[in-house]
Amino acid sequence: MPQYTPPLRDMQFVLHELLHVTDELKVLPRHAEVDADTINAVLEEGGKFCAEVLAPLNQTGDAEGCTLDRETHAVRTPKGFKEAYAKFVEGGWPSLSSDPTFGGQGLPHVVNQCFYEMLNSANQAWTMYPGLAHGAYECLHAHGTPEQKTLYLPKLVSGQWIGTMCLTESHCGTDLGLLRSKAEPQPDGSYKITGSKIFISGGENDLAENIVHLVLARLPDAPTGSKGISLFVVPKFLPKADGSIGDRNPIFCTGLEHKMGINASATAQIALDGATGWLVGEPNKGLPAMFVMMNAARIGVGMQGLGLTQVAYQNAVAYAKDRLQMRSLSGPKAPDKPADPIIVHPDVRKMLLTARAYAEGGRALAMFTTLQIDKALSSDDEDERKQSEDLVALLTPIVKAFLTDNAWISTSHCQQVFGGHGYIKEWGMEQFVRDSRINMIYEGTNTIQSLDLLGRKVLGDNGAKLKKFGRLVSTFIEDEGTNEAMQEFVNPLADLGDKVTKLTTELGMKAFGNADEVGAAAVDYLRVCGHLVYGYFFARMAKVALEKQSSGDPFYTAKLATARFYFAKLLPETAGLIRSARAGLKPLMEMDEALF
């Protein structure tokens, strides 16, 4: 069975030595009292929960899956899941970063995000249940009426109730403008909602006493397309005035999807037969309101990729140190044994270091992005809020797509380290591969994220958001330009920054002539930008490691070696990606459809 050890030392490095989060937080009134000891203590306890309670349920949950009773429409989650959720609630974990007004602990989002990385490493399928509940909380917190907040938020914050988002229908995936679910207004101000939804994660489960569904539907007079979508809160059980649960609402699970991964997450088909719901936000403005939850979910999916990268790496390293196979080409490294451990072989090390680098780079990016969320929500400085909001907008599609692409690469590499044993269930690696593949698809496929990045976040404002991140890079390069020890990191970073600027300008000019040029280049472009971001953080991490390597702590030696590997072996991928992006639309479109 695979093992998991929370990467607390690297988290502490990113939080305290790279990002200096307590310095950043103490100027934010709501987080001014948060100190490093508090953060470290919370993450240490959270790591214990993940390693001791959740990780042992990952393989058994995958094997058992969820079960639907078609007569009652009830779903049973795998053995141990409900008990683990009860411990999660008892420990106060659902409330970690929630508003104290509604019973939350009010800790920074960046602390909660570290916790969710560990949850995802331990058991991604289980983590999707409370993860979606937190997204429902964020949406209602931002757009709910005072009455809705009073009724729903304390229950979601405590974990007594859980949440979902019901978007997709069988005929429309990403193109929500095609959805058909209808909402009929009632005299009492409520709505009767009818329709069907598919691919609803956690759409029915037995973990909590009530499920708060956030449902997209159309009002009778709604305009066509995405501008005619409204958002409704539709509880499984109708709440009474005192907050207790009342009658069953006719929103039912009619089927569970049989998937290649995350089998313990109930991916439900949902039927609404005149279910009672209440409008959230303004009529026909449901999509912008839902995007609060969707953007949180996109960062959350990136964290799923990061979590799987980390746990796969840990287990592959342990196997590579133990597995004896052949001799090193340069001579025996373990002459007292019949063969050398496979970690001595260069390509095994390349696979391991790829996963390690993608985990460490992803952790730095994810924590930086979440820190910007804290600043955007809490800063008293309007300019700082705007700066942070723009950085979050720019980096969200990169967090979602680059981290999950890298997780697919990393988990596949780590499975390869196991050789034939990588296909055997008891080792756990094939589950990590299966689970990681879905993360590239849902919450907007990675192609959609790429179109969002290039088309909306970069070209949509003539590069203003990109330039804000670019200034962080250029300032760092200027500061380290005369530091001889940093040239191996600064020079390739500066070179890539110049190339991204030129590529962006070139693609913008092409897009003026034909908008499909954006679609032709977007996936390559996002990956290039992902490497620019990782390069920036690896250069900063290398700077810290260089300054502290004289301490004798092997952590800094390893950090420096990982940074050097990243710049030598992974960053050069950008050369081919830039060439591919510049190849443009013609090679994709010149073949007649009939010839496919």
pLDDT the model gives residue 373: 95
Do 232 and 107 have their domain in common?
no
402 within some domain: no
**Do the beta carbons of residue 232 and residue 190 sit within 8 Å?**
no
- 53: DSSP letter: I
221: three-class secondary structure by DSSP:
coil
The CATH number linked to 204 is 2.40.110.20
Q: Specify burial of residue 158 (Cβ count, 10 A radius: 0-12, 13-18, 19+).
A: middle
- Select from 143, 171, 193 the last residue of a domain: 143
**Do the beta carbons of residue 219 and residue 283 sit within 8 Å?**
yes
168 within some domain: yes
Catalytic residues: 443
Do 486 and 520 have their domain in common?
yes
Do 89 and 170 have their domain in common?
no
Do 186 and 274 have their domain in common?
yes
**Do the beta carbons of residue 202 and residue 273 sit within 8 Å?**
no
Domain span holding position 42: 8-65+78-143
264 within some domain: yes
Do 227 and 125 have their domain in common?
no
How far, in whole angstroms, is CA 21 from its chain's centroid? 20
Residue 217 φ then ψ, to 5°:
-155, 170
- pTM score, whole prediction: 0.97
**Do the beta carbons of residue 25 and residue 108 sit within 8 Å?**
yes
**Distance separating alpha carbons of residues 584 and 524, to the nearest angstrom:** 11
The pair of three-digit structure tokens given for residue 190, joined into one six-digit string? 């409520």
pLDDT the model gives residue 381: 94
Do 27 and 123 have their domain in common?
yes
What Rg do the C-alpha atoms of the chain give, in angstroms?
24
**Distance separating alpha carbons of residues 210 and 580, to the nearest angstrom:** 50
The CATH number linked to 108 is 1.10.540.10
Count of domains observed in the chain: 3
Do 227 and 101 have their domain in common?
no
**Distance separating alpha carbons of residues 65 and 45, to the nearest angstrom:** 28
Do 139 and 192 have their domain in common?
no
Do 88 and 223 have their domain in common?
no
Residue 441's alpha-carbon distances to 238, 262, 435, 451, in angstroms, are 33, 13, 11, 14
Do 449 and 475 have their domain in common?
yes
391 within some domain: no
Do 39 and 128 have their domain in common?
yes
Which residue positions in the chain have pLDDT lower than 50? none
